[in-house]
Structures are given as structure tokens and as C-alpha cells.
Amino acid sequence: MVDPAQEPVVHLPLLVRFAIVMAIFLFIPPICRRVRIPPGVGLLLAGVALGPSGLGTLPNAAPVAMFFAEIGKLLLMFFAGLEIDLSQFRRTGKRSLVFGSLTFSIPFVVGIGVGLLAGYGWLAAVLIGSLIASHTLLGFPIVQRMKLVTDEPVAVTIGGTVFTDLTALLVLSVCLPIHSSGFSISGFAVQIGKMMAYVLLVFVGLSALGRWLIERMGDSKQRQVTLIFLIIALAGFGAEVINLEPIIGAFLAGLAINRALRHSEAKEQLEFLGDTLFIPMFFVSIGFLIDVGVFLQTLVARIGLVVGIVGRLIAAKFLAARLTQRVFGYSRCQGHLIWSLSLPQVAATLAPAIVAFETKNAEGVRLIDEAVLNTILVLVVVTSMLGPMLTEYFGRQRLTEQGPPAKAAVILPQTATSVVAEAFDPGSTGETAGPPRH
């Protein structure tokens, strides 16, 4: 990775650099959609091109840019929690839990095996397994547009996201302190106790307080947005106090208050801010970290690791979907739709991977090395493009399988789809269903 202290080769005035960044945010996403490339990938590539490894026109360690990127990382995970429909999870109940267990455990075990075969220790291998076990619902806007959200396998997949994302982050929360300070039974027990107390505090205390304050704010969208930022900051700080990463607190905060924000205009305002500034800056900042030479060298020298993680993730997710199809008697098309929806790896994979890469022990050894992080980036690019394309294809097959729609079709109210799903859905246009573009 590029040294964070490295200065840019080209020294440009501050306002010129700001103008370049704004131009990137303005023009890259629509260009990427036109050529059917995920905009988040385009922003990342722009960061590579203009960062220290490229033209050197943008500094890697600029305090304001790094602050925006950190807020973007928290918002990314907050939206990941906010988009999960807990009521949908309760409606699908045991079936969502069965699918969530399968689509997490199979890639988790496969990822551990790949990590061990590649020569990593157990802790790094476990983390690799957890990174590829979660999924991001990039295909949600597609199935929503096709009126397939109420189709049971789709609902089961949406509900299973609760299990996969939360479990992956809990694994991360255990691995980080063990890597930083070592493992002891007493320390592990204390950490688990702190985590349980923290999760309970967020889900009960912060959830109730957030709902009460949001109601008290009335129709003031500005105050509600400020309150949401405060909730994210408090949840992130609380996580840091017990040696967890702030992204875990942000994700739990999104889960805790998603019902209170379900129909709030403040949610749209927050998505506007995140989509306009913070989240794009996070993806650009990842590009700053990438050393192109080292990245290409990793792809050549560690091709087995890359193919192992990417290929086996796709196969493991397919196996989990096929087992779910067989257990519940779904059609083959429905099983393929489950697979395509659970395939993309973005929010709950990329942000924890960055955190794990930045975590060092007393000897300065990272939890995951550069080769794993580069492989995760390849995984994000491949699955964020492949998943929505397959969802579009199998969704159309499912519509054909269902036959002509009934006149009184049941359409669920629009749920809180995160900015991530909008940004990475290569098929999204101004006519695509989902949250309005701001």
C-alpha cells in the first residue's frame, strides 16, 4: 500500500484540488452507469489515478479528506444497518434464519480453508472467512422494480441479511482485540460480556432514546439529521470504549433506529449528504491506498489466493442458495435468484477489511496483509458487477415463471435501501425503483 505520509508529486492549490474532487463526484458515477460499471468502482479507480500511486495530484493524508472518508465509512455501515428490514425478518422468521445460517457458515468455512491453505494463521483465516460470508443487497432495487419483494425466496434472502452482516461484524469484533493484545480466556470472557452489554444498550437504550428524540424534533429535518449524526457518533464512540471498531457501532445504530426512520424525510436528507460527499470520499480514499505495482504483483504472485477467494465465494454462495431451495421446495429459478441477491460483497466486506488491514499488534504485524486486502478489492469489483446482472436475468425469468401479474398485486412500501445499493447497482437509472436520486 502507498505510504500515508507520502506527499503528492504535483502540488496544486487547495481550491483546485477541491474542484478536482467535486468533478470526480459529479461526473464519474453517471459515466460508470452509462458503461454499466458500478460507480463505487469508478470512484475507487479515480482515487488510484489521482492519488500518490498515480498522477499524485491529490494527497493521501489530507486531514479534511481523511475526516470525510471516516464519516463516509461510518455512514456506509449505518446505511447497511438501516436498509435491513427487521419486520421482514420477523415475517419470514425461521426460514430467514436457516438461509442466513447457510449463506454465512458455508462461505465462512470455505474462507477459513482458503486462508489456511494460503499460509495464514488461524486468526487471519477466521477473519477472511467472515469477510466473505456477509453480503450486500445490491440487487434490492431490481427486485423492487420487478415487484418481486413479496416473493417468499426474495423475502427470505432479505431477512437473512440480518444474520450474515451482524455475525460477520461480531467475528470482526472478537478478532481485532485478540490480534492487538493477545488471547486469554479471562480477557475473552470480559470482551464478550462487554459486547453483549453494548449490543443490549444500543438496541434497547439508544433505540428508545432515538425514537423519542426524533418524535420530539417534529418536522425539523435539519435537527433530525443532526440528531442522527449524533447517534452515529455516540454509537461509534461507545464501541471504541470497549475496544470495538466504530463501524460496528454505526451498523448497530442503523439497526436500532431503522424503524423510526423508515418514513422520515430526514433519512432522505442523510442519504443526500452521504451520497454527495462522505461515501464517495471513502471510495476515493481507498484508491489513495492502492499501489498499482504492488496490486498487479499480488494478482500475479498470489493468483491462487485471488482465484481461491473469489471463485470459492461464488461457489459457496451458490451452494447455500441451492440448499435453501431444496429445503423449502423453491423452484430452480427462485434458487438462482436467492444466489444472485446474496452474491455481492460491498459494505459489510469492504469497510471491515480496511479496518482489519489497519489493525496492528505490538510487533507491527497487520491482521490481514496487503495481498488479502487487494484480493478483497477484486472480490468487491467482481461480485458488485456480477450480482446485479444475475439478479436482473433471474428476476425476469421469475416474472415469466409467475405468469401475468394479478390485478390486485400486493406491493410492499418502499424500504430503506442504502446509498451503497444505489451506487453499486449497474442497472440503476432514473426510472429504476428505489429511493429517489437526490
State the pLDDT at residue 435: 35
Q: Where residue 401 falls among pLDDT bands split at 50, 70, 90?
A: confident
Which domains are assigned to the chain?
Answer: 61-424 (1.20.1530.20)
Average pLDDT over residues 245-264: 79
* Helix (H/G/I), strand (E/B), else coil: 360: strand
Q: Where residue 128 falls among pLDDT bands split at 50, 70, 90?
A: very high
Range ranked top by mean pLDDT from 86-100, 107-121, 137-151, 418-432: 107-121
State the pLDDT at residue 320: 95
Query: Using only C-alpha atoms, what is the Rg of the chain?
Result: 21
Instruction: Give tens-digit pLDDT for 160-206.
Output: 887 888 888 888 888 888 888 777 777 778 878 888 888 888 888 88
Handedness of CA 93, 94, 95, 99 (dihedral sign): positive
Polymer length in residues for the chain: 438
Chain-centroid distance of CA 343 in Å reads 12
State the pLDDT at residue 262: 64
**Cα–Cα distance for residue pair 131/253, rounded to 1 Å:** 20
Q: Which single residue is written with the C-alpha cell 471510495?
A: 283
State the pLDDT at residue 432: 36
Query: Residue 410: pLDDT above 80?
Result: no
Instruction: Give tens-digit pLDDT for 28-73.
Output: 989 988 887 778 788 888 888 887 777 777 766 567 778 888 888 8
Q: Which single residue is written with the C-alpha cell 390486485?
A: 408
Q: What are the CA-CA distances from residue 312 to residues 94, 107, 159, 219, 317 (Å)?
A: 27, 8, 24, 49, 8
Average pLDDT over residues 348-365: 84
- Residues paired with residue 360 on neighbouring β-strands, in sequence order: 366
**Cα–Cα distance for residue pair 158/137, rounded to 1 Å:** 7
> What letter represents residue 279's amino acid?
I
Q: What percent of the chain has pLDDT over 70?
A: 86
**Cα–Cα distance for residue pair 34/429, rounded to 1 Å:** 9
Q: What average pLDDT is seen over the chain?
A: 80
- Residue partners of 377: CB distance under 8 A and separation at least 6: 44, 286, 290, 295, 350
Chain-centroid distance of CA 363 in Å reads 30
State the pLDDT at residue 103: 94
Q: What are the CA-CA distances from residue 321 to residues 8, 56, 102, 318 (Å)?
A: 47, 44, 8, 5
**Cα–Cα distance for residue pair 353/71, rounded to 1 Å:** 16
The DSSP-derived string for 218-248 is TT-HHHHHHHHHHHHHHHHHHHHHTT--HHH
pTM of the model: 0.75
Query: Residue 324: pLDDT above 90?
Result: yes
| Contact criterion met (CB below 8 Å) for 163 and 97 | yes
State the pLDDT at residue 411: 41
Average pLDDT over residues 300-312: 87
Query: Residue 427: pLDDT above 50?
Result: no
Average pLDDT over residues 302-312: 89
If DSSP states are collapsed to H, E and C, what string results for 269-286? HHHHHHHHHHHHHHHHHH
b/e sequence 368-380, b meaning 16+ C-beta within 10 Å: bbbbbbbbbbbbb
Query: Residue 122: pLDDT above 50?
Result: yes
Q: What are phi and psi of 183, to 5 degrees?
A: -105, 135
Instruction: Give tens-digit pLDDT for 199-221.
Output: 888 888 887 887 787 777 766 77
Query: Residue 338: pLDDT above 90?
Result: yes
| DSSP-derived secondary structure letter, 216 | H
Chain-centroid distance of CA 431 in Å reads 24
Query: Residue 332: pLDDT above 60?
Result: yes
**Cα–Cα distance for residue pair 428/324, rounded to 1 Å:** 28
State the pLDDT at residue 2: 54
